[in-house]
Amino acid sequence: MITGAKHPSSSTLVPDPFLLGFVFFKPRCIRHSHQEPNTMKRLLNISALLLILCFWVGECKFMVYDTSQRIQSDKINVHLVPHSHDDVGWLKTVDQYYTGANNSIRGACVQNVLDSVISALLDDKNRKFIYVEMAFFQRWWNQQSELLKAKVKELVNTGQLEFINGGMCMHDEATPHYIDLIDQTTLGHMFIHREFGQKPRVGWQIDPFGHSSVQAYLLGAEVGFDSLFFARMDYQDREKRKSEKTLEVVWQGSKSLGSSSQVFTGIFPRHYDPPDGFTFEINDVSPPIQDDALLFDYNVQERVNDFVAAAIAQANVTRTNHIMWAMGTDFRYQYAVSWFRQMDKFIHYVNLDGRVNALYSTPSIYTDAKYAADEAWPLKTDDFFPYADKVNTYWTGYFTSRPTFKGYVRTMSSYYVAARQLEFYKGRNDSGSNTDTLANALAIAQHHDAVSGTQRQHVAADYALRIAKGYAETEEVVASSLAFLTSLRSSGNHENSVTKFQQCPLLNISYCPPSEADLGDGKSLVIVVYNPLGWKREEVVRIPVSSHELIVLDSDGKEIDSQLLPIFNASLNMRNYHVKAYLGRTPTSTPQYWLGFTASVPPLGFSTYIISRVKHTDARSTMSTVWTSDSTSDKIVVAGGGNLKLHYATDEGKITHYINSRSLVEESMEHSYNYYSGHNSTNQASGAYIFRPNSKFPIQSEGKKTFAVLKGPIMDEVHQELNSWIYQVTRVYKEKEHAEVEFTIGPIPIDDGIGKEITTQITTTFKTNRTFYTDSNGRDFIKRVRDFRTDWDLQVNEPVAGNYYPINLGAYVEDGTMELSVLVDRAVGGSSLVDGQIELMLHRRLLFDDAKGVGEVLNETICVLNDCKGLMVQGKFYIRIDPMGDGAKWRRTFGQEIYSPLLLAFAEQDGNDWKNSHASSFSMIDASYSLPNNTAIITLQELESGTVLLRLAHLYEVGEDKDYSVMASVELKKLFPDRKISKVIEMNLSGNQERGEMEKKRLKWKTKDSSKAKIVRGGGVDPEKLVVELGPMEIRTFFIDFDHLMITWCEPVSKAPYRLAPSELQELDGSFRMCIDYGELNKLTIKNRYPLLGIDDLFDQLQGSTWFSKIDLRSGYHQLRVYEDDHSQDGFQNQIWPLRVIVQFLGHIVNENGVHVDPAKIEAVKNWSTLKTPTEIRSFLGLVGYYRLYISNFPRIAIPLTSLTQKESPYEWGPKQEDAFQTLK
C-alpha cells in the first residue's frame, strides 16, 4: 500500500498519484521545475508509473489538499478571489432573484448562493469569499438561527468572509445623484457595522457601465476604501493600458481635494470572470482537474499547465508579481463546492508544480500586497466615460433610458431628504411610520440595472412599486411632523385638533384634489410650504384650482400678489389619462387654472399661505392676459417682465434672443428638437444600453406654427405645440434670471417602424473650441473635448454616441466672455456636438434589443385597461447665459434648489381659526442665522440609537467662483438653537468609523505624477465653539448627541444618572401632564430577544444536557425588593432548590445520554395488532413518523405499506407488508 503525504490543511480527500511521487522524489527539486527542462517529462513518467501502481495495488490512500495561504516574493502570486455578482434586480425582481422564483427567465437563487458558500467556508478554514450586495445578505441574515449567525460572525472576524463595497447594491455610476450614492452606501455600511463590527475597505464596482470621478474620491477615499476594482472600460483604453502595464493606477477623482482623495484602482484585463477554462459552476464546461488514479482522463499536469499559462499572460500586462483572478461571475456558487473543490486542487497542484504561486485571497489581501511592493503608480484624473466595449458600441443610451423612472427616483430622493429632517424635528417613532421603507427602496433603486433604466419592464414596475410603498409611509411621517410643528409652536391657549395634511405627488400633471376642491363658506385652503435648504428661498408656487375668485394671504395674514393661468386642453388630456392609469379612476373634478404666487420660506422651516374664495367684487388673483401669434402683426413677441426677456419670432414661433438687462447679456439663441433614428442592424442595434444613431432628423411643426404667450405680474409663459406628441411651455419668472422649459414628449410614434431618440438643442454663437463641461453625479464638473480622450488617441467611429456623457446636474459651454448653462431635473445624456450648443436626450423609444443581456426592447407603454399608449414623459430643464465667471453661482445654488424643491402640504380649514391656533411659520435654526450660500445640509437624520447624523457639503470647486470657492463655516449652536449639544464626533462619509481612525489607517500610495497643489480642508471642531469648516467640494459627516430638548415655554429638566427627572408641562387647555425623558435609560437597556430556533437546532443544543432550569417565578413576583425579615411571610422562602425530573421536550426524553423517544408515545405502536385498511396504514405511518429519524432507511422499509394506500390499488396484505409492519414496530 502506498502512503500519501500529509499536509497542514484539509479539504476533499482523493487518491493522488501525482502527489505520491513526492514520496520518492524530493519536493524541492520539483518546485524549481521552471529552471529544469526535463522536470515535466520526469513528472509525466512518474504519474504514469503511479497510475499503473495504483491499479495494481487496487487502492490508494486518500490525501488532503494544501490550501494554506502563503505569498512567495520570488514568484507570480495568483490571488484567487471567489465571488458571485448578484444583481439586485435586472431580468428578475430583487425578491425573485433572492428566492429563486421565476426561473423560467433565469435559474438564479441568491439564497442558495449564500447557503452553499457558508457551508463550504465552514468546511475549510483556508477558503475565502467576498460579498457585495447587502440587500440580499440582509434578507438572508434575517432568516438565520442565532447558532448559524454566530458561526458566520466568526467567518467574518477571521477574514474568510469579507464584505466588499458594502452598500445595499452595486450602484450605477452614471445616473444616480451623489446624495443617493452616499445614502445607499451608508445603509449597507451601518448594517455591516451593527451586526459584525466590520468596516469594508475595498470598492468593487465590477459591472457598472463606465466609472465616475465621484466614485473614486467620494465613494472611495472618503468612505475609507484603500482600493477600488472594476472590469468595464473602453476597449481602446484597455488595449493601450495592457500594452503599457497601466491597468492599475492611483485615481485622483477631485481636483479640489487633490491627493487627499486618491484611491488605488485596479482594472481587470478582461471581464469580471476567471480566465477561459476556469469557471466551475455545476453546468459550466471548463474541464475539472481529474486526479483520481482509478478513473480515466487523468489531467493534473495538463490543467496545471493551463493555469500557469493564463497566470503568465496576465502577469505580462500587470505591474509587480501579484495578479488577481475574479473567480466567479453572475449568480455563481449556487453549488459552491463545485468551485471550491476545483480551487482546492489548483492551489495544491500549482504550488507543487512551483512555477507560480496560487492562494485563496480577497481584494484586501491583494491591495496590501500591492502596497507592500512599494511601486510608484501612474496617476489617473477625470473619469472613465463614455464606455464602449467594441466598435460602434457606446453604452451611452442608458444615460436617458426610462426617463420617467429616472425622474421618479430623483423626486423621491429629494422628498426623502426633506422627510428625514421633519422626522428628526418631531422625533423618530419606532412604533409608527418612519422613513426606513423609502430608504431601502431608494437604495435598491441605485443598482446599476435600476435607475440606469436597463432592467426588464416588470422589474422596473417592481422598483417603482417599492418606492411607492415607501412614499406612502413617509408621507404619513411628513404629514404628522408638520401637524406636530404647526401646533406645537403655536402660542396662546386654544384648543385644536391634529391637522390632517394632504400632499399631491401628481402635482406636475395638474392633479391635486385638495387644491381643486370648491372652497365653501368659512373654508380656506391652508398650504404649508417647507424649505429643506439652509438658506431663505423665494420661489413661485403653482397649484391647480377650479375657481378664479381667489385671494392668497401670507403667514402674517397679508394679501400677496397671485396670478391665474388657464390650463389648456393638451395638459388636461394628459392629466386625465395618467390619473386613471395610476389611480385606477377618473378624476372627479377638472381644474380650470394654475394659481401662482411667490412663497417666502425661512431656512429649514416652513411658511403658511391661506387661499380663500372671495366675491367677484373684491380684490382677487390677477388673470393672465393671453396672446396668440395669430392675433398680431408684430414680427417679434417678448416674454419676461423682469430683467430677463426672451424674444420670439412670430412667424417661426422660435426663440431668437436672450437679453438680461441687469448683466447686459444680449445673445442670439435658438431652441430646437430633433430625433435620431435608432440603428436596427443585427450587428449592433440601439437599445436600452447602447446609443447607436442611424440618422438625425429635425422635428418640424405639424401644420401652422402657432403659439400662445401668457403674461402676468409673476411670470410669463410661452406655450408651443410643436406637433401632436411634443408640447412645450417656457416660463420666465419676473424675479428670476433664467428660463424654465417644461416639455411633454410622447407617445413617440413608431408606426413607420423606426425607433426614435428625442433630443433638444440650445444653440448660441459661442466659439467654444469643441470644449464643454458636464457634472459628475451632481458634484464636480469635468472638462470634455469633442472627439478626444485624455488617456489615449481616440479612433472615432461613432461621432455622436462617442461624445455623449451622463448629466445629473447640468452642462455648460463658454467662449471666454460668456457662459451658457443648462440644468436638468433628472439624469439624462448630453453633449456639445456643435460649438456653442448643448444637446440633451430627453426620451427614447426603440424597436430592437441591443443584445447586451436584457433581452427586451425598450418600448415603454402606459395602459388604462386594454388601452395602451407609448410612454409620455414630462420634465424640465433650465437655461441661463451669464458673463464669464458668473455662471457657477447659478449652477450651484439654483442647482441645489432644483434637487430640493419646496415641499407642499394642504389642509382645508377656516383661515382665521388656523391663524389663531397654529404656528404660521417656523425655522429650526436660529432666527438670525442662515447657512452660507456655498453650503448645504444633505443629511439630517435621527438614527435608531437616538444619535443624529449630520452631513454638510460645500457646493463649489476650487477656483470655480471668486466669492464662494472659499472656506465655509457652519455654526452648530445656531443650527440647533433649541437643543444642547453634548457630543460631536466626526465620522467618515458612510458613518461606520471615526474620521481620525480612518485617516490613520489610510494607505498612502506613491504616484509618478504627484500634485503639489495646496489642499484646502476644514479643521477640527472645537468642542466649545462647535464651528464646522468646509473646504471646496468637501463633505463632512458628524454624529451628534443632544442632552435634552429645550422647549421655549418650559424650564430645562434636570438630569439624573439614569433618567431625566420628571417635570410638569402645562397643556394648552390648562391641564398638566408629566414630562419624563427615558432616552438615557433606554440606551442602557438591553432588549430581550427570543429567537425562534428550528426543532433540530433545539435538540442539537439540548443533546447530552444534565442540568435544566425553569422560569424564575421569584423575579416575576418581587418587582420591589423585600426586607430580609419579611421573607417568612412570602411564598418564596426557599429561593433555589434542586429538583430531579425527567425532561420531556417536544415528545422526546432529554438527559445526559442524549435525546430519545418517549416510551409512552410508542406504546400504541407496540400494541398495534394488525392493519386492516388503508386508513389504518396511514394512521400507523403517521404515528411511526414520530420516531422515523431514528430508523435508517425508513422510506424504503415503508414502501410495501405505502403502496397499499394509493388510489385504485387492491388491498392485499402479504409477507412483505407484514415484515415491514413488524420492522417498523
Write out pLDDT tens, residues 424-458: 999 887 668 899 999 999 999 999 999 999 999 99
SS3 213: helix
857, 885, 913: which is the final residue of a domain? 885
Please tell me the predicted confidence (pLDDT) of residue 681. 77
Beta bridge pairs of residue 612: 524, 551
No. of helices (H) and no. of strands (E), the chain: 30, 58
Residue 426: name the closest of 476, 495, 496, 384 by CA: 476
Tens digits of per-residue pLDDT, 610-659? Answer: 999 987 666 778 999 998 877 777 889 999 999 999 999 998 889 999 99
DSSP state of 1017: -
Question: Other CB atoms closer than 10 Å to residue 621's CB: what's the count?
Answer: 27
| Same domain, yes or no: 868 and 719 | yes
Mean pLDDT confidence for 840-854: 97
Q: Which residues contact 279 (CB under 8 A, 6 or more apart)?
A: 273, 286, 329, 332
| Same domain, yes or no: 618 and 547 | yes
Q: In what order do the strands lie in the sheet with 357-360?
A: 322-327, 77-82, 357-360
Query: Are the C-beta atoms of residues 301 and 47 closer than 8 Å to each other?
Result: yes
**Rounded to 5 degrees, what angle do the CA atoms 299, 305, 307 make?**
105
Tens digits of per-residue pLDDT, 942-985? Answer: 999 899 999 999 999 999 999 999 999 999 999 999 899 999 99
Q: Which helix (H) or strand (E) holds 977?
A: none
Residue 300: name the closest of 34, 5, 21 by CA: 21
Beta strands at 1035-1045 and 979-987: parallel, antiparallel or unpaired? antiparallel
Please give the Cα distance from 186 to 1039 (Å, whole number): 13
pTM: 0.83
Write down the residue that cell numbers 366675491 correspond to.
Answer: 615
Residue 641 resides in a domain? yes
Beta strands at 622-623 and 562-566: parallel, antiparallel or unpaired? parallel
DSSP state of 555: T
SS3 564: strand
Share of the chain above pLDDT 90, in %: 71
Range of the domain at 870: 626-885
Cell numbers placing 677: 433614428
Please tell me the predicted confidence (pLDDT) of residue 1155. 73
| Same domain, yes or no: 1109 and 1172 | no
The total number of residues shown for the chain amounts to 1225
Residue 771 has pLDDT above 60, yes or no: yes
CA 447, 798, 861, 720 torsion: positive or negative? positive
- Residue 1212 is which amino acid? E
Tens digits of per-residue pLDDT, 485-508? Answer: 998 645 544 444 578 999 999 999
| Same domain, yes or no: 798 and 731 | yes
Q: Say which range, 177-186, 716-725, 894-903, 1051-1060, has the weakest mean pLDDT.
A: 1051-1060
Banded model confidence at residue 913, pLDDT cuts 50, 70, 90: confident
Residue 772: name the closest of 718, 824, 837 by CA: 837
Please tell me the predicted confidence (pLDDT) of residue 1096. 63
Banded model confidence at residue 1012, pLDDT cuts 50, 70, 90: confident
Query: Are the C-beta atoms of residues 206 and 326 closer than 8 Å to each other?
Result: yes
DSSP state of 396: T
- Three-state SS string across 401-457, please? CCHHHHHHHHHHHHHHHHHHHHHHHHCCCCCCCCCHHHHHHHHHHCECCCCCCCCCH
Residue 648 resides in a domain? yes
- Three-state SS string across 282-318, please? CCCCCCCCCCCCCCCCCCHHHHHHHHHHHHHHHHCCC
| Same domain, yes or no: 687 and 813 | yes
Q: Which residues contact 473 (CB under 8 A, 6 or more apart)?
A: 433, 434, 435, 437, 438
Of these ranges, 247-251, 498-502, 1021-1025, the one predicted with the greatest mean pLDDT is 247-251
CATH number, domain with residue 536: 2.60.40.1180
Tens digits of per-residue pLDDT, 1149-1165? Answer: 777 777 777 777 677 77
| Same domain, yes or no: 842 and 752 | yes
Residue 1156: name the closest of 1105, 1224, 1094 by CA: 1105
Banded model confidence at residue 689, pLDDT cuts 50, 70, 90: very high
Higher-pLDDT residue of 1167 and 38 is 1167
853, 885, 917: which is the final residue of a domain? 885
Banded model confidence at residue 4, pLDDT cuts 50, 70, 90: very low
| Same domain, yes or no: 636 and 758 | yes
Report the half-sphere exposure of 1018 (CA within 13 A, side-chain side). 26
Residue 647 resides in a domain? yes
Please give the Cα distance from 275 to 192 (Å, whole number): 31
Q: Say which range, 26-30, 183-187, 472-476, has the weakest mean pLDDT.
A: 26-30
Max alpha carbon distance in the chain (Å)? 115
| Same domain, yes or no: 699 and 712 | yes
Residue 851 resides in a domain? yes
Residue 52 resides in a domain? yes
**Exposed, middle or buried, 796 (CB in 10 Å: 0-12/13-18/19+)?**
exposed
| Same domain, yes or no: 666 and 539 | no
| Same domain, yes or no: 834 and 697 | yes
Q: Say which range, 243-257, 846-860, 1159-1173, has the weakest mean pLDDT.
A: 1159-1173
Please give the Cα distance from 653 to 722 (Å, whole number): 9
Banded model confidence at residue 153, pLDDT cuts 50, 70, 90: very high
CATH number, domain with residue 812: 2.70.98.30
Residue 646 resides in a domain? yes
Number of domains in the chain: 5
Residue 753 resides in a domain? yes
Q: Say which range, 152-156, 258-262, 382-386, 989-993, has the weakest mean pLDDT.
A: 258-262
| Same domain, yes or no: 733 and 829 | yes
838, 854, 885: which is the final residue of a domain? 885
Residue 675 has pLDDT above 90, yes or no: yes
Taking CA atoms, 226 is separated from 10, 262, 370, in Å, by 33, 9, 11
Residue 540 resides in a domain? yes
CA-atom Rg of the chain in angstroms: 35
Does residue 602 have a cis bond before it (omega within 30 degrees)?
no
Tens digits of per-residue pLDDT, 304-354? Answer: 999 999 999 999 999 999 999 999 999 999 999 999 999 999 999 999 999
| Same domain, yes or no: 1146 and 1167 | no
Tens digits of per-residue pLDDT, 1057-1102? Answer: 444 456 666 666 666 666 676 766 676 666 666 566 566 666 666 6
Of these ranges, 525-539, 607-621, 1194-1208, the one predicted with the greatest mean pLDDT is 525-539
Query: Are the C-beta atoms of residues 900 and 766 closer than 8 Å to each other?
Result: no
